[in-house]
Amino acid sequence: MRYVLDSGIVADFIARRGLVPERIRAARERGGKIGLCTPILAELVGGILHSNNAERNLAVLRQRTAPFALWSFDKAAAYEYGRIYAGLRARGRIIQVPDIQIAAIALTLGDCIVVSKDGDLREVPGLTVEDWSQP
């Protein structure tokens, strides 16, 4: 099983907050592959660059996420994005661009769960979402 971590979950992991570090460890022990995707990395870097200690925080991000896989927004994900966007729009439900990108990457990977605190991702048909910050 692959697990794509959303930005809030990565932040909890880096800060060693709550249940997230333990759940990541447990998923790895079960043979799960933990990773993030390029839109999430971009979101995290953008936020860090607005922080008071940007260089130190970037170093911490690099160090703490080094063991994780990094999945890219590729051509297959772009087509999946279009399908998701059109479907949501037809239902009158639009979610943020990065959330659709995350969903598209996860769905093209297959056998994948998105780990997020963001309820918008639950709007995407066929996407499995878990919140590891909650018991």
The pair of structure tokens assigned to 94 is 């639009």
User: What does each of the 135 residues of the chain score in pLDDT, given as a tens digit?
Assistant: 999 999 999 999 999 999 999 999 999 999 999 999 999 999 999 999 999 999 999 999 999 999 999 999 999 999 999 999 999 999 999 899 999 999 999 999 999 999 999 889 999 999 999 999 988
Q: Given this model, what pLDDT does residue 92 score?
A: 96
Q: Given this model, what pLDDT does residue 119 score?
A: 87
For the domain that residue 116 is a member of, what is the CATH number? 3.40.50.1010
pTM: 0.92
- CA 75 to each of CA 54, 92, 119: distance values in angstroms, whole numbers, following the listed order: 32, 26, 26
Q: Given this model, what pLDDT does residue 118 score?
A: 84
Q: Is residue 26 domain-resident?
A: yes
Cα-to-chain-centroid distance, residue 75: 18
The span from the CA of 119 to the CA of 21, in Å, is 21
Q: Given this model, what pLDDT does residue 59 score?
A: 98
Q: Is residue 135 domain-resident?
A: no
By DSSP bridging, strand 2-5 and strand 69-71 are: unpaired
Q: In what order do the strands lie in the sheet with 33-37?
A: 69-71, 33-37, 2-5, 112-115, 128-130
The count of domains in the chain is 1
Q: Given this model, what pLDDT does residue 5 score?
A: 97
Structural domain including 65 reads: 2-130
The pair of structure tokens assigned to 96 is 């943020």
Q: Given this model, what pLDDT does residue 103 score?
A: 96
